């Protein structure tokens, strides 16, 4: 299963905003520069997050974006659902009626287990977890997280 760039960039944007927000809102142009993602694309990704009450915008010369919730209250599973929908690797997991073989298909069980595992990991992590991890891990060490995610995130 591959997550879309909307999800990947959306989570990066949320982590960046969480790490940089203070008294003043975070300027989206600064997030764009730090994350090396087009400003227009970030605006597109941000729209459903604002509509869902995860982020909010503030207009004016001192405007920008903020998280509308505490970073510890924003689970990665919620962000993925907002930006991508289901994590099911195949359509029959969420809609068994789509396949006439759903009651006899042994591979559907594998896909259901895969979705459950993915959802479990995403449900166990928050934006705050990633902010804290970012503080502890330098960019050069980020690759090591793939080898030992349980040490990094306690999973």
Q: What is d(CA 31, CA 37) in angstroms, rounded to the nearest whole number?
A: 8
Confidence of residue 150 (pLDDT cuts 50, 70, 90): low
The pLDDT of 64-68, averaged and rounded, is 95
Q: What is d(CA 148, CA 155) in angstroms, rounded to the nearest whole number?
A: 10
Q: Which pairing describes strands 55-58 and 64-67: parallel, antiparallel, or unpaired?
A: antiparallel
Whole-model pTM? 0.85
| Residue indicated by tokens 């166990």 | 124
Q: Which CATH architecture has domain 5-85?
A: Orthogonal Bundle (1.10)
Confidence of residue 101 (pLDDT cuts 50, 70, 90): confident
């Amino acid at each position: 299963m591959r997550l879309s760039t909307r999800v990947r960039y959306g989570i990066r944007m949320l982590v960046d905003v969480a790490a940089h927000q203070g008294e003043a809102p975070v300027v989206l142009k600064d997030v764009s520069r730090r994350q090396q993602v087009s400003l227009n694309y970030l605006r597109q990704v941000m729209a459903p997050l604002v509509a869902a009450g995860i982020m909010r915008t503030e207009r004016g010369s001192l405007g920008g974006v903020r998280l509308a919730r505490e970073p510890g209250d924003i689970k990665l599973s919620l962000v993925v659902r907002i930006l991508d929908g289901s994590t099911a690797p195949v359509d029959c997991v969420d809609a068994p009626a789509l396949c006439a073989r759903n009651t006899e298909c042994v591979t559907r069980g594998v896909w259901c287990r895969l979705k459950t595992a993915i959802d479990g990991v995403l449900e166990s992590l928050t934006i705050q977890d990633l902010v804290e991890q970012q503080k502890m891990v330098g960019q050069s060490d980020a690759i090591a997280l793939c080898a030992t995610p349980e040490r990094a995130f306690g999973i």
